[in-house]
Amino acid sequence: MQIKGKLFLIPVPIADGALSTLSVQLKESLLHVRYFVVENIRTARRFLKAIEPNTVIDDLSFLEIDKHKGADIKLFEKWLKQGLDVGLMSEAGCPGIADPGADIVRRAQQLDVEIIPLVGPNSMILALMASGLNGQSFCFVGYLPVKEPARSQKIKLLEVLSKNENQTQLFIETPYRNNQMLDELLKTCNENTNLCIAQNITAPNQFIKTKTIEQWKKQKPVLEKQPAVFLLLA
């Protein structure tokens, strides 16, 4: 019988330094994992050192996910077939959820490898929990189009879908475009549509508020250039 390693899916804090949001299981699992597939080697090393200061970084092996080509799947397979446990780590939140890593997990599934998702922070779920919007039926649609008129058309489509299905629509934006996104939402959506803005979740200055479009227009915030989740329920 061929020996295979396990794949650990490692959540990373959403906010800088928020190690308290991680589970004991995650910290215990990391003690024996020495091979990692990561988005960024430098920040991965920093995170692992913060989790366990006694970690000898030079004893660890890293495989970085290229933004255009993805990861070296052959090397990943080689590690698993050698019986080595591998950790998959994104920059923030849960790997494979609005982050690279799905290809790695899919290949592990094809190899019939044991996959162990570890408990940790996920900005979409935390935002939905705190929004007061429909948590029974929801859809995460990722990034919306950047240019007009595609962006406003997509927003209107999501609003109609939300109303017809009574379904919360969740999406994200590049932080420096948060205010443009808010402007477009206020311009495009009906005044009685509910909008939740969830920013800097788990950070000391987190901001999570749900109001109607009409209410947001009366008191429009200036959003920071920090990660945010937008949630609509018409």
Structure tokens belonging to residue 162: 């939300």
Total structural domains in the chain? Answer: 2
Residues 112 and 142 in one domain: no
Q: What is the pTM of this model?
A: 0.89
> Of 4-18, 53-67, 80-94, 163-177, which has the strongest mean pLDDT?
163-177
Q: Using alpha carbons, select from 105, 103, 73 the residue that is nearest to residue 87.
A: 105
The mean per-residue pLDDT over the stretch 203-228 comes to 95
| CATH code: domain of residue 91 | 3.40.1010.10
In a domain, 1, yes or no: no
Q: Using alpha carbons, select from 54, 70, 71 the residue that is nearest to residue 62.
A: 71
Handedness of CA 162, 168, 174, 175 (dihedral sign): positive
Residues 130-179: tens digit of each pLDDT: 999 999 999 999 999 999 999 999 999 999 999 999 999 999 999 999 99
Residues 100 and 170 in one domain: no
Average pLDDT, the chain: 93
- Return the exposure string of 119-151: e unless at least 16 CB atoms fall within 10 Å of the residue's CB, then b: ebbbbbbbbbebbebbeeebebeeebeeeeeeb
| CATH code: domain of residue 202 | 3.30.950.10
